[in-house]
Structure 1
Amino acid sequence: MTGLVSDSDERRLLRESVGKIAAKYGPGYYTERSRGGEHIGELWADLGQAGLLGVHLPEEHGGGGAGLAELNIVIEELAANGIPLLITVISPAICGSILAAHGSDELKRDWLPGIADGTRKMAFALTEPDAGSNSHNVSTHARRDGDGWTISGSKYYISAADECEAMLVVARDGEPAADGRNRLSLFVVPTDSPGVTLQPLETALVSPDKQFTVFFDDVHVGEDALIGEAGKGLRQVFAGLNPERIMAAAICNGVGRYAVDKARTYATERQVWSTPIGAHQGIAHPLAEAHIAVELARLATARAAELFDGGGAAAEAANVAKFAAADAALQALDQAIQTHGGNGLSREYGLADLWFVTRMLRTAPVSREMVLNFVAHTSLGLPQSY
């Protein structure tokens, strides 16, 4: 099935490499591990050894020296093979990008090679139950304490914390700035630190990447745990938030491709009264619309990655891509399920299990309402509502 996104020869080979590894495992592996509460260690190791997890990270720290455009291909192609991995967004895209942009030389040397080759993972701890989308309002706080910092508070919906050696924690630091907003600082906190507690969250997600509430009870870290400059964390965290939005879009685009392809195959092979059901416009036209929406979202995502890699202003493009991709993926998945009839809800056909993780990406990492707020305020220049 052709699409609107065209790859260079090098990127086409990258896409093929990811596809070969993904095909070795397949959506059945992903679903079985997810439902069994198990991780996908073998797949992760293969991706790391092939240099695919750190394709965007600096070569001097074990990465591929490419950019988000290449990581977009890796993450999308995994999802297009029925393997939408949240941890690919969290550890390499968010944490890897922030460390590469703002980490000390010591933190880069310590963490980036392991993130790139898959031998180490890092979770991202920003979300709190009472802060919502207002990152300025986080209550987890860090205070200077002798030779380092002491961190107290809690984080909510932290993905894959049980798989990771450390978390990149966003905390407020000291007194608010002159505008009343809290100053933020970023820290690398080992998950086995005294005072760190992981509490599993029960969700409807079918995913090997589980969700947690994380408690920090006077957790002490050294001065070397600080990323960049104290109090400048909001600027630093955006080195990870725009990649997070773009790579969330990549997952959605892959799911959309997977859903449309499954529906196309079924509609071609399934016959009623000796006629393939795909010959009927009631089936064909909605699938064509779903394909169009997915391809447009892929173009928006590729453009956002291009802007980010070029050092341009990528915030608008990243938000637009995430918005478009999440809606397109849900449209494609819903229509694929409808095309399959009752079989769409059968585990055998591998569609229904993707619903909740795809639906989550319409809300996270940024809700569609906050994207609309951003576009209204920033792109259209309308008055702010908050």
Structure 2
Amino acid sequence: MSTAATTTSRFTESEERQELRRQVAKLASKYGHEYFTEKARSGGKTTELWLEIGKNGYLGINIPEEYGGGGGGIGDVAAVCEELAAQGCPLLLMVVSPAICGTIISRYGTEEQKQRWLPGICDGTGTMAFAITEPDAGTNTHNITTTARRDGDGWVLKGQKIWISGVDEADHVLVVARAEDARTGKVKPVLVVVPTDAEGFSATHIPVEMVSPEKQFQVFMDDVRLPADAVVGDENGGLVQLFAGLNPERIMAASFSTGLARYALGKAVAYAKEREVFNGPIGGHQAIAHPLAQSHIEVEMARLMTQKAAELYDAGDEHGAGEAANMAKYAAAEAACDTVDRAVQTHGGFGASQEYGMAALLVATRVGRIAPVSREMILNFVSMHSLGLPKSY
């Protein structure tokens, strides 16, 4: 094989991945943005879509086959997430249930835990939420105060979390807590799976402007009693296990953003071709065409970085994946925000109408600059780890 051919193949996804994208896009197009928006505005849920994704094997495509998954990698589930968003059906729980929770349990859960939780994550009947952010800790996850203390053979969980997605749709929540190490007396992070119907567990809905069927919650855990096997994997390996889920979270967030950007760009381009003002389609004017072309370039660069991050993660390169995942998440959020802004401008007054659905995307894409990690913290990470500059916080 020639060098040129080898170089080209490294920047092209496998035929299997491309076919996966086509099939997911075909499935999601049966529902589309109108379905998604109608569910969001009426207070409904996208349960039919979620279960069909699971039935077709796309929901748990990154989870080992012996537990009902597809045996693929994070790049595969990221492709599913992106194609759903590109068809106007951005599902936040794709980021959380299969990617974060599914990855952590697949890697570090006991055999019994895998058998108990992974099949439901794969087929959509056992969705799992993820809870790390706290009201007073914010981005500084080292300052979380939710505690898990031993009580006989089990654990007692106490604390609160905020901005937790989809608690009302989840059977369980994977909670990041702190526990005291019996050997050293120092505090260590632990990951515990909490049933949403457990005594002492409650959630309060947080109203937000984003148009989405998936709601946000503040979660309270008031002396929630849990069995010993509620702790995922090794209770002394919490930090390593936690970061095994955070890099996939950033990769998925990037795919979520690039999918939304592709959806908005597609709508803007279609409108620019059909809308005629001053004796021709507005897309023939550089004031319209150039910003849209710029967005296409920016989105494709973000997609390429996202694919690189996924490939590094699936190859086991934790350091390289951490850097690339943060860069991908940053680039994708920036591209998405700029693309939606340009799409709104392309539509003119119609950009503010519910009929075209562009304005609602302004909030959805803007969230990508904040969650799951802010753009400022990514810049701190790159400054310190990539450039070797002094730590600023």
Partner Cα separation in structure 1 for residue 156 and residue 332 of structure 2: 40
Partner Cα separation in structure 2 for residue 273 and residue 375 of structure 1: 47
What are the superposed Cα offsets for residues 188-227 of structure 1, whole Å, 9 maximum, x if unpaired? 0000000001111111111111011110000000001011
Per the TM alignment, residue 54 of structure 1 is displaced from its structure 2 partner at its CA by: 0.6
Partner Cα separation in structure 2 for residue 177 and residue 256 of structure 1: 50
The 3-state SS of whatever aligns with 1:342 is helix
1:366 equivalenced with 2:373 (yes/no): yes
The 3-state SS of whatever aligns with 1:151 is strand
The 3-state SS of whatever aligns with 1:347 is coil
The 3-state SS of whatever aligns with 1:128 is coil
RMSD in angstroms over aligned alpha carbons? 1.6
Change in Cα spacing, 1:158 to 1:275, as seen in structure 2 (3 Å) is same
Per the TM alignment, residue 46 of structure 1 is displaced from its structure 2 partner at its CA by: 0.5
Partner Cα separation in structure 2 for residue 23 and residue 308 of structure 1: 29
Amino acid at match of 1:354: L
Partner Cα separation in structure 2 for residue 5 and residue 307 of structure 1: 14
Match of residue 228 from structure 1: 233
1:5/1:295 contact within 8 Å kept: no
User: Aligned runs of 1:146-185 on 2, under 5 Å?
Assistant: 146-174=152-180, 182-185=187-190
Aligned mate of 1:114, from 103, 112, 120: 120
Partner Cα separation in structure 2 for residue 83 and residue 234 of structure 1: 33
1:320 equivalenced with 2:327 (yes/no): yes
Change in Cα spacing, 1:177 to 1:293, as seen in structure 2 (3 Å) is farther
Aligned mate of 1:341, from 341, 348, 353: 348
2:32/2:88 contact within 8 Å kept: yes
Change in Cα spacing, 1:325 to 1:167, as seen in structure 2 (3 Å) is same
Match of residue 92 from structure 2: 86
Match of residue 187 from structure 1: 192
What are the superposed Cα offsets for residues 6-56 of structure 1, whole Å, 9 maximum, x if unpaired? 332211211111011111111001001111121110000110000000111
Number of aligned residue pairs = 382
Per the TM alignment, residue 135 of structure 1 is displaced from its structure 2 partner at its CA by: 1.2
Aligned mate of 1:96, from 102, 108, 113: 102
1:58 equivalenced with 2:64 (yes/no): yes
Change in Cα spacing, 1:375 to 1:350, as seen in structure 2 (3 Å) is same
1:219 equivalenced with 2:224 (yes/no): yes
User: Aligned runs of 1:23-42 on 2, under 5 Å?
Assistant: 23-42=29-48
Amino acid at match of 1:362: R
Change in Cα spacing, 1:131 to 1:231, as seen in structure 2 (3 Å) is farther
User: Aligned runs of 1:214-293 on 2, under 5 Å?
Assistant: 214-293=219-298
1:331 equivalenced with 2:331 (yes/no): no
Partner Cα separation in structure 2 for residue 281 and residue 358 of structure 1: 25
Change in Cα spacing, 1:175 to 1:105, as seen in structure 2 (3 Å) is closer
Match of residue 309 from structure 1: 314
What are the superposed Cα offsets for residues 292-341 of structure 1, whole Å, 9 maximum, x if unpaired? 10000000000000000111131000000000000000110000000000
The 3-state SS of whatever aligns with 1:227 is coil
The 3-state SS of whatever aligns with 2:30 is helix
Match of residue 18 from structure 1: 24
Aligned mate of 2:386, from 362, 379, 382: 379
Partner Cα separation in structure 2 for residue 331 and residue 298 of structure 1: 15
Partner Cα separation in structure 2 for residue 256 and residue 181 of structure 1: 45
Partner Cα separation in structure 2 for residue 65 and residue 205 of structure 1: 33
Per the TM alignment, residue 175 of structure 1 is displaced from its structure 2 partner at its CA by: 6.0
Normalised to the residue count of structure 1, the TM-score between the two structures is 0.96
1:176/1:183 contact within 8 Å kept: no
Amino acid at match of 1:75: C
Amino acid at match of 1:383: P
The 3-state SS of whatever aligns with 2:368 is helix
Structure 1 gaps, min length 5: none
Partner Cα separation in structure 2 for residue 68 and residue 364 of structure 1: 19
1:123 equivalenced with 2:151 (yes/no): no
Match of residue 5 from structure 2: none
Match of residue 43 from structure 1: 49
Per the TM alignment, residue 181 of structure 1 is displaced from its structure 2 partner at its CA by: 7.5
Per the TM alignment, residue 273 of structure 1 is displaced from its structure 2 partner at its CA by: 2.4
Change in Cα spacing, 1:202 to 1:181, as seen in structure 2 (3 Å) is farther
Amino acid at match of 1:135: T
Normalised to the residue count of structure 2, the TM-score between the two structures is 0.95
Q: Percent identity?
A: 56
Amino acid at match of 1:120: G
